[in-house]
Amino acid sequence: MPEEKPHPAPEWLTKDYVEDKLKVYFKNNSLKLEKLEVKPAIPNGENYASIMTRINVEYTTKESGEKQATNFLVKTTVASKDPAAHVLKHYGIYTREMDMYEKILPQLAVIVKGELEDSMRLFAGTVNVDRERDSIIFEDLSLEKYKVACRLKKLDLEHTRLVLEKLADFHAAGAVLAERQPGIFEENFDRGFFNKHTRGYEPIMRNLLEALSRSLELQPDLKQRYQAKIDRLIDRVMDYGEQSTSINPGDFVTLTHGDIWTTNVMFQYDAEGHPFNAIFIDFQFTVWNSPALDLHYFFSTSIHENLWREKQSELVQFYFYKLVAALKKVKYSGRIPSLFEFQQQFRTKAFYAVFASLIFEPTMVYNGNEEASMEQILSSSEKGMRFKNDVYQLAEIKRKLQDTLPYLDHLGLLDEMLSAK
């Protein structure tokens, strides 16, 4: 791996600023910040849409007199001059995530704890939301031994089922919250990666599909069968994506996470190494849509390949039964589909698996020698082209394409999907 060059910490993240926020959080005006250490929480390439900073603090209060130490995480936007900012500004992701941490997640947590009787955490607690600086300070759950699973090794069945259980609770709580507070998700919760308002992600989608097509030149067997289909997809990817995310009559819809993959889930483990709780982080792309989108995205990016290809219908059934049980517990009064109807809904949204597995997933698991960033994906420079080419030329991705392309093709997902007019 190349030496990472993390984004610098925000200049406004000073001792005085943090002290003021902690006074409010701890409800103690006598708090005095004795020490502040600021360092990157994750390197470039781990998160393409924001900057994560860890702050280590030491503070005293009038009551205790002794120094106390703890950590927090600070999430901020990428700099306005960063090419990623030009893509992301049209999606409203920073305002949406601040709304989630300040207004929505606390209410969902009450529903999950009180009505679904799940005392485990659903998300990290919010310390402060600063709309002027587009920033959020929240608890550092590594202090409670929550861990992110390896994005390269992916999740086994035990981890997968746990995530699906928590997703079912999250989706059920979102559905009933919308029922109790009509209109709560009307503003700014309609802009996922594909939507009717902006195609800001189109250059990213096209550039990566073009790199995939170039990579097939080195795999003659795949080139013969799939290159023409990939080339045709380049011009249709946004159309198909919008089609797959359109809400159809009869669809069950709710609040979806929108970006549910390995590094946006944290696990807590018992003494034997088994996960017993999972929480979700990163709510920038949370949208009001079909929960099938979360399932396709999660399956395509985060679980063992054999589970994705061979156990998918079984996993959908497992999730569905958990969802129905949760909806009944919270006394959801809307129409609940049958399993047969939900499986059909899942299949209708299946193009989401193409986008997630062929475009996003290769960049998510990239561990090559080039600098990984959204700027590199967008750039036509020699450096940018080298990164995009390397994404699809790594041995693991080339091996996976041998299985993924036929799997998607057998489902008709690489053929023309819109009927001729």
Mean pLDDT of 379-395: 95
Q: What is the pTM of this model?
A: 0.92
User: What are the phi and psi torsion angles at 254 (to 5°)?
Assistant: -160, -170
How many C-beta neighbours within 10 Å does residue 264 have?
Answer: 21
Mean pLDDT of 26-51: 79
Kindly state the percentage of the chain with pLDDT values over 70.
93
Can you give the pLDDT at residue 91?
87
Can you give the pLDDT at residue 89?
76
Can you give the pLDDT at residue 417?
83
Question: Lowest-confidence range among 45-59, 107-121, 269-283, 308-322?
Answer: 45-59
The tens digit of pLDDT for each residue in 173-183 reads 999 999 999 99
Average pLDDT along the chain: 92
More confident residue, 396 or 418: 396
Question: Among 49-58, 94-103, 317-326, which range has the highest average pLDDT?
Answer: 317-326
The tens digit of pLDDT for each residue in 200-235 reads 999 999 999 999 999 999 999 999 999 999 999 999
User: Among 408, 363, 36, which residue's Cα sits nearest to residue 225?
Assistant: 408
Mean pLDDT of 394-421: 89
Can you give the pLDDT at residue 2?
40
Q: Is 203 helix (H, G, I), strand (E, B) or coil?
A: helix
User: Among 106, 102, 107, which residue's Cα sits nearest to residue 131?
Assistant: 102
Which CATH class name applies to 87-126+141-410? Answer: alpha beta
User: What is the C-alpha to C-alpha distance for residues 290 and 124, in angstroms, rounded to an integer?
Assistant: 24
| Cβ atoms of 288 and 254 closer than 8 Å | yes
User: What is the C-alpha to C-alpha distance for residues 313 and 193, in angstroms, rounded to an integer?
Assistant: 25
> Is residue 116's pLDDT more than 60?
yes
**Residue 76 banded pLDDT, cuts 50, 70, 90:** confident
Mean pLDDT of 266-273: 95
> Is residue 406's pLDDT more than 60?
yes
Can you give the pLDDT at residue 43?
55
The tens digit of pLDDT for each residue in 152-189 reads 999 999 999 999 999 999 999 999 999 999 999 998 89
